[in-house]
Structure 1
Amino acid sequence: MNDSFNRLSICLLVLCFWLSGPAFCLDLYVAPHGSDKNPGTIHKPFASLEAAQLKARKSSEPVNVFVRAGTYYLAKPIVFTPQDSRKADNKLTFKPYQNEKVLLSGAKPLALKWTRQESNIYKAKVAGDVSMDQLYADGQLLRMARYPNYDASSSHFGGYSEDVLAPERIKKWKNPEGAFIHSLHSHEWGGYHYKVVGKETDGTLKLEGGYQNNRQMGMHKKYRFIENVFEELDAPGEWYYDHTDKNLYVYIPNGQDPNRMTWLTPQLKSLVEFRGDAQHPVRNISIEGFELAHVQRTFMDTKEPLLRSDWTIYRGGTVVLEGTENCSIRNCHFKKVGGNAVFFSNYNRHGEVSGCHIEGAGASGICFVGDPKAVRSPSFEYHQFVALQEMDRKPGPKSNNYPAECRVSDNLMHDLGTVEKQVAGVQISMAMDITVSHNSIYNVPRSGINISEGTWGGHLIEYNDVFNTVLETGDHGAFNSWGRDRFWHPNRKTMDKIVAEHPEMILLDVQKTITIRNNRFRCDHGWDIDLDDGSSNYHIYNNVCLNGGLKLREGFQRVVENNIMLNNSFHPHVWFANSGDVFRKNIVTKPYFPIRVNDWGQEVNSNLFPDAKALETAQKNRTDSRSLAGDPLFIDADHGDYRVQPNSPALKIGFKNFDMDSFGVTSPHLKHLASQPPLPVLQQRNASSADSEANWLGGQLRNVSGLGDRSAFGLPDELGVVVEAIKADSPLGKSGLQNGDVIRKIEQQEVRNMGDLMDRYQEINWKGHAVVEIFRNQAPLKLDISFK
């Protein structure tokens, strides 16, 4: 009896072992005090991650590489190749030991001997072959000597000036070679960067660069600055490096001794790279829990044009994945890296970035960019087009050399684009089936999430919290997309003819529906959701748009339903005939804002409007026969709960409540760090009572009231909005408006009262500025007002 029982027990143990897979794994250790001659045990650890990587290659077991606390200065990136690939049941993981703090740094510590030159300027000789792109003192990132000086309250670049290239200023610079000029695009569609390579004989600067935007239209005349000029070394914390004599100059505040400081300068553009391809991918490797910092800026490497979008791209980042399967970046902290944080290039499958904190990146957060050679009949510049008779008419990609079935989830990304302005929290181009879920993205100069073109669709954008976007650019959204696929032509008449004669072409590239659901968006300088230039095959539902509304421009087969648009509405722009578009069961709180729409798609109906007048205006276009008007009766709008009450008229048009507390990151430590979007004060439409007033862009405004106001302001009638008080550091305070101004028109449209003002602003806020007609000192005046 006992022998039989023992034999049965042994058999069960063997079976359990077989079912559960390998029971053993190899643990390797790395520590600052270790040696690469050691065996890599906890008591005799390696000194470098590379040594652990090489030993892991020899193991067929799962491998955990535990890295002990400390800073690891990398002389070169850690590169994983197909030699490092693992099977699914014996993964390789690099992570800190017991959550110790581990910093992977791309910097070189500098041994400097400082001497005081004059006042607060100190000088030190830099030994060896060192790239001086950025400089850290005691862990703080300093700024190159610049004009104008850095001002954190400035709306663009931390300070800008129209006279950066003025001859009288250039004359002050003895040798500006090596300086950089940073500028917005002339239409504010991203930015440009230039390196100064000398002076022309006429005193102007010789420049290289300006290729960082795919819509070449020149630099902005106003929004620009210059850095790395010795004569502009005039503010605490600024520095200048003379490449000729290798002297470093720093402006040190009074009472500080630079010889007691720790000095670092970044030398690497990436810290971790995965380098495989579709035939020989890098498989089953995970990087977890590290802080990654001190990575060089890459704005002068941003050269590759993407398909017909405004973007050019640098295929690189702090972590680069090319040719991978089942590789992941988890719970890492990307701190003020100089370019992109994570870049998925070309073939990648089942990649993951989750639980990460990306702050202060010079460019984008996470990018997915495929191979243009995988695209059929690609065009690269906005005005390019492959002739119809030469066009490849086969659907889908030519190869598998693109990212697909990857996931970006539970990441906190903020204060991005500190250097480059054509950036996004998540950028997707030439990819398929990318899931972007439960991320918090805010404080970015352009979009939070951007899809550059339709190739090849299938993306899922859900449960994200995206706000404070389009802060330094224009004509964009918190979520932005372009189509510009094969059927798209820059000449509208030509394109109308193409899609009328060949409707089968519209889904040759965007084969799979792109879904945007259960997100919360807010953009105060554009649209909350902006589908531009041929964006097709979208399903958009259960989203809260806090301020900027939703735009659909030129595109096909887009279904928008069950969304809430606060203080704004639906912006249909230049639709195609027979677009197949659907807009139904949405709550809008302003009238529609159509531009050149003659054919209203498949269905625009069963929506809730704020009042009868807005509904009547829509019905004149033969839409919304079953729509209603009235107060949606939100449960608790003051606290962001926009579900409707049981007696809401929204329920009668088929609207269904959806969850209001699942937006953004989910990890407790990221939720603790994440900011929340400012909730809007709901505006009452067409307010006209004598005491109607509102806070708007940092100013207190009210309607013109009676003959007293008419006399006091010198008005011809009793219409307009009076600026009562302005906060100096607010958008309105920086706009050029003054206390006592009376706003009468915006972009030639009449502003009779606060309701008109809000409606006009929502029509043009995507521009970031507008011509405003006011009365000041009892006389009419026109101003070009910035709202940023």
Structure 2
Amino acid sequence: MKSGFYWLASLCVFVILNSVTPLTGQDNPKGIAFYVSKDGSDKYSGKLPEANANNTDGPFATIEKARDVIYALKQKKQLPTGVVTVNIRSGTYHLTKPFELTKWDSGSEKTSIVYRAYNNEKVKLIGGKEITGFKPIDDPAILKRIESPYRDKIVQVNLKAQGIKDFGEMKPRGMGRPVYPAGIELFFQDKPMQLARWPNNDWVKIAGVPAGQKGGKFTYDGDRPEHWRDTKDIWLHGYWTWDWADSYETVKTIDTVKKEVSTCEPHGVYGYSVGKRYYALNILEELDEPGEWYLDRKTGILYFWPPGPLSEGKTYVSLTDTLIQMKDVSYITLQGLEIAICRGNAVEITGGSNNRIAGCTLRNIGNVAVKITGGTENGVTGCDIYACGDGGIVLNGGDRLTLTSANNYATNNHIHNYNRWVSTYRPAIKISGVGNRISNNLIHDSPHSAIILNGNEHIIEYNEIHHVCMETNDAGAFYMGRDYSERGNIIRYNYFHDLGSGDVQAIYLDDFASGTTVFGNVIYKGKRGVVIGGGRDNIVQNNIFVSCSIAAIHVDARGIRKPWAKKYFDGTDTTLTGRLMMIKYKFPPYANKYPEIITLYDGNPAIPEGNKVICNIASGGKWLDLRDGVNEEIVKIQNNFVNEDPCFVNPTKLNFQLKDDSPAYKLGFQRIPMENIGLYKDEFRLSLPGS
């Protein structure tokens, strides 16, 4: 999957990436091992990998039993020093409720606890139920609603007859709205199926807004809605006003004479605007291609057009919201498992310390794969994450009032296709708090951002990011903004390439983002490389920009010249000042750590002072775009290598390392360790994409 920088890093570079002592084999010379098997029994001791000859002892049947036995040993103070390992044998384990670990299930610095796949066997923990018994549609009224060429392609099954009565519910969701569980979904051959929609692979445009942008209704062209018999549970997904804000809305009424759609409140994020795009879904009449499905929630009958023979794959529906919940637990590792098919978040870690999700595959998730909230030294490493509804990893921790770091991390993960439901502001990794790290991840194929940052003192390094922001405009592969207090963040040694075709920036320091260091990144085919949107005290240094068609670097003073931005300085909108006051910026630790913030409002904060553009390389495309009266007296621009041959090693093969005799070195440019960018093999990641 990688392009250009597909080299393995030496092990010594990455020693610091794994702060918890790793496992060194399947056996535990110091510790104790338990086993779980589909053929086991919770009446056994769990100390054997398979049942003995007379079936009097063997592995446990459930991971819950293993957890409870470890808890009992801990209560008796009989846990040994070393590693307590729960070896899970191959098979699919159905979790009808979350597997819960609490502080009572913790390990310690001397005794870590690991739940892992035994000998790399295929172990699946899923929150769904397999569905069987599909048959042709036999209801004439239903057949009449389906176009005749497709009737013999679609099958049906009664979910209620198979004991499934809780279908969840669809709710308004999207940019700026709460994250709700997705409700029931359908999966076939380990892939999510498409809720019946129109148009199938495209968008339609809003024709008019008769009641104005905020009026809750719009008109459409054509006559397609005339085919829809039941409009009670039709949903619309659209970019209703801006190409960086999507949401799902439910239809209230459709007037096919006026060709007018009315929606239930809240009527689309930012209202409705002429010419903006949307599509409709959850419509039986639109079940017209392989892979689509529809559920009649009253009868419980599910209709499905399988994209292949049903005998050649299993069909599941999602039931459980969250699969694994770890609250205030410490020194726990989940390793080598497939965690899949749920309506909400697959794994939630709240508080605790030194917990790892390592070498797992997380897919077919309703919301996000892993959500880490608080705690210290908690992380996700070596995982493959895809087919998520609302992003990949949420990484939070640290205290913003005291600037205390959490040291939580997301490292060496392959994250792609992570926006099945909400498209915007649900990134591959959302990082917040203080002092967390995102490193060596490969992120690609998304309609919007790869990384969104809030907070202070985070490090974003050695990541490869490509083919993101593919469906949006005014977007950034990396994004942060609208908070003067979020400082001390470092974005270094990342490779951004082949980003979306619209108004897309590789590194977007939006709306007064300040105090960020952008060092040693390589940006190829980003429309803009780095945008400083009115912020202060940012350093853009030692980066390589290649073929950035709009500008390698953009700096503006939007707070002075843009009417919409002036509100942050004329008292109309107190967002910026309010966020400063919340962290008491004129007192320690902020006053000590970021002294320039103390006098921010003594002059004109809308002037983007303190920014530095130093010793960068730009090859092809446009170099510098200074807007709104910004000039070299406001921004320090020094020793940049522009419009000359920098002597790349092999640019035709996307190797943008500099040759030893590059003239850029004479200006003070420092070598970028490109060989360390991206994924690497270790005990958790046994192979690389494409190998």
TM over 0.5: yes
Question: How far does the alpha carbon of each residue in 1:648-674 deviate from its partner, in whole angstroms, 9 at most, with x for none?
Answer: 332232212222222111127969543
- Which residue number corresponds to residue 458 of structure 1? 457
- Which residue number corresponds to residue 313 of structure 1? none
Residue pairs, 1:574-723, within 5 angstroms = 574=557, 576-577=606-607, 579-589=609-619, 590-598=622-630, 600=632, 601=634, 603-610=636-643, 630-667=644-681, 673-674=688-689
Partner secondary structure for residue 111 of structure 2: coil
Q: Among residues 340, 343, 356, which one is paired with 1:293 in the alignment? A: 340
Mark the CA change 1:209 to 1:102 in structure 2 (over 3 Å): closer, same or farther: farther
- Residue 295 of structure 2 corresponds to residue 241 of structure 1: yes
Question: How far does the alpha carbon of each residue in 1:441-481 deviate from its partner, in whole angstroms, 9 at most, with x for none?
Answer: 11111111111x3x3x1111111111111011111122111
- Which residue number corresponds to residue 366 of structure 1? 393
- Residue 65 of structure 2 corresponds to residue 51 of structure 1: yes
Partner secondary structure for residue 59 of structure 1: helix
- Aligned-residue offset at 1:96: 0.7
Q: Among residues 490, 505, 509, which one is paired with 1:531 in the alignment? A: 509
Residue pairs, 1:27-426, within 5 angstroms = 27-42=33-48, 43=51, 44-60=58-74, 61=79, 62-117=83-138, 118-126=151-159, 127=161, 128=163, 129-131=165-167, 133-149=184-200, 151=201, 159-162=202-205, 166=220, 168-196=223-251, 207-208=263-264, 216-218=270-272, 221-252=275-306, 256=309, 262-275=314-327, 281-296=328-343, 317-345=345-373, 347-369=374-396, 396-397=400-401, 404-422=406-424, 423-426=426-429
- Aligned-residue offset at 1:220: 7.9
- Aligned-residue offset at 1:239: 1.7
* Counterpart-to-counterpart distance in 2, 1:428 and 1:357: 18
* Counterpart-to-counterpart distance in 1, 2:471 and 2:321: 25
Question: How far does the alpha carbon of each residue in 1:39-64 deviate from its partner, in whole angstroms, 9 at most, with x for none?
Answer: 22223222111111111111232421
Mark the CA change 1:674 to 1:137 in structure 2 (over 3 Å): closer, same or farther: closer
Q: Aligned AA for 2:640? A: N
Contact 2:396/2:408 (<8 A) preserved: no
Q: Aligned AA for 1:88? A: E
- Which residue number corresponds to residue 476 of structure 2? 477
Contact 1:113/1:259 (<8 A) preserved: no
CA RMSD of aligned residues (A): 2.9
* Counterpart-to-counterpart distance in 2, 1:588 and 1:557: 22
Question: How far does the alpha carbon of each residue in 1:736-774 deviate from its partner, in whole angstroms, 9 at most, with x for none?
Answer: xxxxxxxxxxxxxxxxxxxxxxxxxxxxxxxxxxxxxxx
Residue pairs, 1:732-743, within 5 angstroms = none
Contact 2:191/2:364 (<8 A) preserved: no
- Aligned-residue offset at 1:211: 8.7
Partner secondary structure for residue 477 of structure 1: strand
- Aligned-residue offset at 1:541: 1.1
* Counterpart-to-counterpart distance in 2, 1:260 and 1:537: 55
* Counterpart-to-counterpart distance in 1, 2:652 and 2:415: 26
* Counterpart-to-counterpart distance in 1, 2:675 and 2:268: 39
Contact 2:535/2:608 (<8 A) preserved: no
- Aligned-residue offset at 1:351: 0.6
Question: How far does the alpha carbon of each residue in 1:606-657 deviate from its partner, in whole angstroms, 9 at most, with x for none?
Answer: 11121xxxxxxxxxxxxxxxxxxx3222222122332334543322322122
Number of residue pairs matched?
546
Contact 1:29/1:67 (<8 A) preserved: yes
Q: Aligned AA for 2:517? A: H
* Counterpart-to-counterpart distance in 2, 1:186 and 1:163: 10
Residue pairs, 1:501-580, within 5 angstroms = 506=484, 509-510=485-486, 513-522=488-497, 523-525=499-501, 526-548=504-526, 549-568=529-548, 569-574=552-557, 576-577=606-607, 579-580=609-610
Contact 2:377/2:406 (<8 A) preserved: yes
- Aligned-residue offset at 1:229: 0.6
- Aligned-residue offset at 1:353: 0.7
* Counterpart-to-counterpart distance in 2, 1:82 and 1:260: 43
- Aligned-residue offset at 1:217: 4.5
Contact 2:415/2:444 (<8 A) preserved: yes
Which protein shows a greater Rg?
Answer: 1
Partner secondary structure for residue 422 of structure 2: coil
Question: How far does the alpha carbon of each residue in 1:672-695 deviate from its partner, in whole angstroms, 9 at most, with x for none?
Answer: 54379xxxxxxxxxxxxxxxxxxx
* Counterpart-to-counterpart distance in 2, 1:135 and 1:531: 39
Q: Aligned AA for 2:451? A: I
- Aligned-residue offset at 1:437: 0.9
* Counterpart-to-counterpart distance in 1, 2:473 and 2:84: 48
Mark the CA change 1:323 to 1:288 in structure 2 (over 3 Å): closer, same or farther: same
Mark the CA change 1:524 to 1:200 in structure 2 (over 3 Å): closer, same or farther: closer
Partner secondary structure for residue 28 of structure 1: strand
Partner secondary structure for residue 674 of structure 2: coil
* Counterpart-to-counterpart distance in 1, 2:251 and 2:39: 44
Mark the CA change 1:199 to 1:48 in structure 2 (over 3 Å): closer, same or farther: farther
Partner secondary structure for residue 447 of structure 1: coil
* Counterpart-to-counterpart distance in 2, 1:460 and 1:40: 42
Contact 2:356/2:380 (<8 A) preserved: yes
* Counterpart-to-counterpart distance in 2, 1:545 and 1:443: 17
* Counterpart-to-counterpart distance in 1, 2:69 and 2:431: 36
Question: How far does the alpha carbon of each residue in 1:136-165 deviate from its partner, in whole angstroms, 9 at most, with x for none?
Answer: 23444322221112x4xxxxxxx2222796
Contact 1:193/1:212 (<8 A) preserved: yes
Partner secondary structure for residue 579 of structure 1: coil
Unaligned runs of 5+ in 1: 1-21, 152-158, 276-280, 299-316, 375-395, 486-505, 611-629, 677-788
Unaligned runs of 5+ in 2: 1-27, 52-57, 139-150, 168-182, 208-218, 559-605
Partner secondary structure for residue 124 of structure 1: strand
Contact 1:172/1:231 (<8 A) preserved: yes
Q: Aligned AA for 1:247? A: I
Mark the CA change 1:672 to 1:24 in structure 2 (over 3 Å): closer, same or farther: closer
Question: How far does the alpha carbon of each residue in 1:217-240 deviate from its partner, in whole angstroms, 9 at most, with x for none?
Answer: 447844321221111122223221
Question: How far does the alpha carbon of each residue in 1:416-461 deviate from its partner, in whole angstroms, 9 at most, with x for none?
Answer: 21221122111113x111111111111111111111x3x3x11111
- Aligned-residue offset at 1:125: 1.9
* Counterpart-to-counterpart distance in 1, 2:268 and 2:119: 43
- Identical aligned residues as a percent: 26
Mark the CA change 1:211 to 1:342 in structure 2 (over 3 Å): closer, same or farther: farther
- Which residue number corresponds to residue 503 of structure 1? none
Contact 2:423/2:448 (<8 A) preserved: yes
Partner secondary structure for residue 283 of structure 1: coil
Partner secondary structure for residue 348 of structure 1: coil
- Residue 437 of structure 2 corresponds to residue 435 of structure 1: yes
Partner secondary structure for residue 477 of structure 2: strand
